[in-house]
Amino acid sequence: MIRLSELKLPLGHADDALPQLVARTLGVAPADIADCKVFKRSFDARKVDLLTVYIADVTLADPSREDALLAQHAGHPHIQRTPDMAWHPPTQAPADLPMRPVVVGFGPCGIFCALLLAQMGFRPIVLERGKSVRQRTKDTWGLWRKSRLDPESNVQFGEGGAGTFSDGKLYSQIKDPRFLGRKVMEEFVKAGAPPEILYVAHPHIGTFKLVKVVETMRTEIIALGGEVRFEQRVTDVQIEDGHVRGLTVLDQQTGTTSELRADHVVMALGHSSRDTFEMLHARGVHIEAKPFSIGFRVEHPQGLIDRARWGRHAGHPLLGAADYKLVH
């Protein structure tokens, strides 16, 4: 495929305008374009006439022409070969897997760790101290409406992690040359998230959709041979000669404690499992402070920001809610 960037069209352009612009930019006929997929869409509001800006990946009707066409446009900063964005598993589980890996925590880190391990055939066991996302939702609303707190099932603990109830961003300023973020987005879409998160500049799923997406991802992990065990709190870890050998697990439903043998454990704990941090530190696990930045929230009427950013185009259905970033 061929990737074209800086493709600019008026807001609200016709559906066939992008393929036609692609054809003109490449110097081919529209019939020579077999497929045109949007990789990224953003808006340029620096001038009065707001523009839609695309990065598009193009498949030619005759793929054998691709090399010649790229050579013809060699040196063009906005015409390049589409990079390989596929996720390539680093390994596959052996047929005689001696012990299944254990993932502790089922927030974003734990979900994707377990999902990728499952896709590679490792059949992971997930231990989550909180409850499933549906039950957790009930418990969280119980706190907000009735001031009834469940210490193990709330905004911080449970399936989906601490961000489940904040309609947070799905974008990052971290450079991603291996397109690992693309793998994350594709898994979200496969689980039911809106396909537009693959190409909009500031994607988000939405809390109410996210609940179903998280459930679907859990279902895939289980279908691939994994297990997800809720209300299971890790209270101790067995370490021998610098190697993990197992975990002590408290079943919070029954109050019983059991031992789980494991030689590969991923601690996807989030930021609130202070009792687990203390236990790991006591067992000699190296723990260090992570640098972080602090932000603050400023609330404005949304219409004010829309008008400031979009001008006379504010309220256009394609634009959605405008935002801005202030860094000091």
pLDDT at 170 over 70: no
Residue 146 structure tokens: 């009735």
Q: Which residue ranges does the chain devote to CATH 3.30.70.2700?
A: 2-81
In this structure, are residues 214 and 159 in contact, taking their beta carbons and an 8 Å threshold? yes
Question: Which residues partner with 60 through β-bridges?
Answer: 33
φ/ψ of 166, rounded to 5, equals -120, 120
**For 102-282, CATH number?**
3.50.50.60
Exposure string over 262-280, b if 16+ CB within 10 A, otherwise e: beebbbbbbeebeebeebb
pLDDT at 76 over 90: yes
Q: What is the largest CA-CA distance in the chain?
A: 71
**For 2-81, CATH number?**
3.30.70.2700
- Per-residue pLDDT, averaged over 193-211, amounts to 85
At 74, the pLDDT band (50, 70, 90 cuts) reads very high
Q: Which residue ranges does the chain devote to CATH 3.50.50.60?
A: 102-282
pLDDT at 167 over 70: no
Which of 150-154, 182-186, 211-215, 282-286 is least confident? 150-154
